[in-house]
Structures are given as C-alpha cells and as structure tokens.
Amino acid sequence: MDQATIFTSVVNICLLIALAEIASSINARLNIPRIIGPLATGIIFGPKLLGGLSVFGHPLIEYNELVYVFAEVGAVLLLFGAGLHFTFTDLKQSGITSVTVAVMGVIIPYGLGLAASIILGYDWYVGMIIGGTMAATSIAISLKSLDELGKLGSQEAKIIIGAAVIDDVLALSLASVILTVIVTNAQMTITGIMFSLTRTLIVWLVLTIVSVQAIPRFLDWINKLKDRSGHLIEAAAILVCFGYAAFSGNLGISPFVGAFIAGMAMADSLHIDMIREFILKIEIIFVPLFFVVMGTSVDPNAILHANFLLILVLGVIAVLSKLVGCGVPAAWFTKDRTCGLRVGYGMISRGEIGLVIASIGVTYNILPSEVYTAIILMIFITSLVPPFLLKRSYKEDEKSVIELTVEI
C-alpha cells in the first residue's frame, strides 16, 4: 500500500466517522437510537450506493484493507470497554442465569434455523450454516444501546453481557465444528460436538480466572514505574487488550471474547476510572467505523432479487428464538418478567460472529446467493430491532414511575 493510498484511506476513515457521528446526532434529535446512525451511514455511503460513485476515476469512499482494520479495532475496543463495566464478581453473581440464557439462546435458534432450512428444501450443509448464524448474539449493538440509555449497570445488562460472551464462545465452537464437517466431509457425532464445546468453554473459564488475578497486579506494578506526566497505565491497558485479543484468537476463541476478558479483569483494578476515561476517548475514532462497516454488508441491489419468503422466515425465527430461548430462562431465574423481556430483546441482535459463520458457506461455495443475501438482511434487521425495543421498554418503565409519583 503506497503513501498516497494510505493518506486517502485516512481521509475516508475520518469522513465516515464524521458522517456516522452526524447521523447519530440527528437520530438523537429525532428520538431514534443513536446506533442506527452508523449502520444507516454504512448502507448509504457503502460501495453499492453513494460510496461507489466515481470521482476523478476513483470511488467516493474506498473500503480497503486499512478501513476494515480500523473497524476490527473498533469491535475489539467496544468489547474491551464492556468488560471494564463488568467485574468477575458480577459474572459469578449472574453465572447460572447467564450460562442458562446462553445455552438456550444457542440451542433453540440453531435447531429452528436448521429445521426451517430443511423444510424450505435446502440441504444439511446450508442448514448448518443458517443455524450457526442464528446462534451467535452480537453483543455490540445491545451494549451500545444500553450504554446510551444509562442502563449498563442494570441486572438485565449484566445477564446480557455475561450470556452474550458465553454465547459467542459456544457459537464459535459450533463454527469450528461446521467447518470441520464441511472440509473433511466427516460425520460429527453429538459426543464430538459436546467435547469441542466443553473444551472451548474450559479454556475460556481458565483464562478468565487467571486474568482477574494477574492483570490488576500487573497494573499496580506498572503504576510504580510511571511519572506524573506519563501514560504507562493507559498504554499497558491497550497492550493487554489487544494482546488478549490476539492470544484468544490463536486459541480458537473469538478475539472479541479475549478483549472482553481483559476488560473484565481490569474492572477490579484500582486504576479502573483512569482506564475507562481513556478508552472512552479513543473509542470515538474506532467504534463508529465498526458499525459503519456492518452497514456496508447490506447490498441494496440484491434486495430486489431476494427470496422474501426466506428473509421473512429467518427474521421471524431470529427474533422469536432469542426471545424464548433467552427471555424465558432470564425471567425464570430473576422472577421478573420485565427483566426477562429485556434480556430477550438484548440477545436478538446478530452480527460479526454470524457474518464469520456465513462466510464459511460462501468460501466453500455452499450457500446460494439468495441464502447469503437473506442471512445478511436477517443480521441487519436483528441489529435494528433491539435498540427500539429496549428504549421502548425503559420508557414505559419511566412512565409508570412518573404516573405512580403523581398518584402519590
């Protein structure tokens, strides 16, 4: 990549960030969830619409390797920031609830997605891919929505975050199983699948337990080395964040899960306020770009030739399977129907992990174009639904409190 291309890419990145922030501000004024802004920016200024317009022989906005790298950095920082608000104690307190919500939130969507695919006439391989994309929850959308609403410390938020992390671990394990079956044409047994899932979960749990003990001590040691004007704590936090993302990726676990583990380990540190303030500032550069790139995955032209029956079926299953699979167990454990509904709402969104699983089908020429388009639209639709549902739920709650106060 030459110097001119690098500078052009930097200009494009800055332009997309500015457009995303403008769209977010407009949404906020219109009482629409801010997160919809970057997603809409990705569609409108994506390579298939305005971004693809030719200006002096070049696309208006070029989505090259550097743009996607910045977007991936944004995803890692988003999950790292989530971990900073979620201590290991919080995870233990919502442990059984989160695990149950996660497991049911994988089994029910996967089973329904696979069954629907077979009923609609697709083969088992296509069904496995569709089921896999249904299983994975994208924590990013709901996390940002809860943060905007100021509910990141609520009971349902802790359950959603804990469950979504376990959910991603399970979904990625399923993805590895699917890939093994496709590549080797092997017949995987239930025992083999369970062994793979169990091994991955054990690795994740051990890494988490070790990290919450070691990382705060590491930061305390770093703090002794820094001077007044230094930023060693912030630098160490970034190092640990991306180090864990890379390490977990090499272990076969999502880099996003590794970043979350690093953040959660730092949440118990004495330096947490300093780290949160620093991450909040640098998120402005990277996080909006992640959501913009998610929006670019929607091809408006493909919608005109899409299988609308398949899109409808996948969309309905995607929403209902998480509401039932995640909302019912949450309501049961918390004895709170409203909390259960909010957990169900928060677990609806699919995202980066679903796209990774869908890409397996495309890479090995298993998914027909109409199925891939339907999956992309399902992921996008489920990204739009949670912010509206969560905002409406909390508004109704506030309205009830106001009405009760007036009566008193």
List, for residues 300-357, the tens digit of each pLDDT value.
777 777 778 888 999 999 999 999 999 999 999 888 888 899 999 888 888 667 777 7
Domain 78-285+309-393 indexed as CATH 1.20.1530.20 = yes
pLDDT of residue 112: 92
pLDDT of residue 180: 66
- Spatial distance between the Cα atoms of 172 and 342, rounded to a whole number of angstroms: 24
- Spatial distance between the Cα atoms of 109 and 322, rounded to a whole number of angstroms: 7
Residue written as token pair 């809409």: 40
Q: Judge whether residue 128 has pLDDT over 80.
A: yes
- Spatial distance between the Cα atoms of 220 and 170, rounded to a whole number of angstroms: 34
Q: Judge whether residue 189 has pLDDT over 70.
A: no
For residues 277-289, average pLDDT: 86
pLDDT of residue 42: 86
| Residues in the chain, overall count | 408
pLDDT of residue 188: 60
Which residues have CB under 8 Å from 238's CB, separation 6+? Answer: none
pLDDT > 70: percent of the chain: 86
Q: Are 170 and 135 in contact (CB under 8 A)?
A: yes
pLDDT of residue 352: 66
- Spatial distance between the Cα atoms of 28 and 107, rounded to a whole number of angstroms: 36
Q: How many CA atoms lie within 13 A of 43 on its CB side?
A: 16
- Spatial distance between the Cα atoms of 176 and 360, rounded to a whole number of angstroms: 10
Question: Model confidence at 178, in pLDDT bands (50, 70, 90)?
Answer: confident
For residues 398-404, average pLDDT: 56
pLDDT of residue 61: 82
pLDDT of residue 228: 58
pLDDT of residue 405: 58
Question: Which H or E run includes 1?
Answer: none
What are the residue ranges spanned by the domains of the chain?
A: 78-285+309-393
Q: What is the CA radius of gyration of the chain?
A: 21
- Spatial distance between the Cα atoms of 116 and 134, rounded to a whole number of angstroms: 11
- Spatial distance between the Cα atoms of 106 and 100, rounded to a whole number of angstroms: 10
pLDDT of residue 402: 58
pLDDT of residue 324: 92
Distances (CA, A) of 333 to 93, 330, 339: 12, 5, 10
For residues 120-136, average pLDDT: 85
Which residues have CB under 8 Å from 111's CB, separation 6+? Answer: 131
351: DSSP letter: -
DSSP letters spanning 133-163: HHH---HHHHHHHHHHTT-TTSHHHHHHHHH
- Of 126-135, 215-224, 225-234, where does mean pLDDT reach its minimum? 225-234
Q: Judge whether residue 406 has pLDDT over 60.
A: no
For residues 393-402, average pLDDT: 67
Question: Model confidence at 401, in pLDDT bands (50, 70, 90)?
Answer: low
For residues 73-90, average pLDDT: 80
pLDDT of residue 198: 75
To the nearest 10°, the Cα dihedral for 149, 260, 72, 277? 60
Question: Model confidence at 176, in pLDDT bands (50, 70, 90)?
Answer: low
Distances (CA, A) of 80 to 32, 118, 257, 264, 323: 26, 38, 9, 8, 26
Interval 3-46: pLDDT, tens: 777 788 888 888 888 998 898 888 778 766 677 788 788 888 88
Mean pLDDT of the chain: 80
Q: Judge whether residue 253 has pLDDT over 80.
A: no
pLDDT of residue 239: 92
pLDDT of residue 242: 92
End-to-end CA distance of the chain: 67
pLDDT of residue 319: 92
For residues 271-299, average pLDDT: 83
- On the 0-12 / 13-18 / 19+ scale of CB atoms within 10 A, 26 is middle
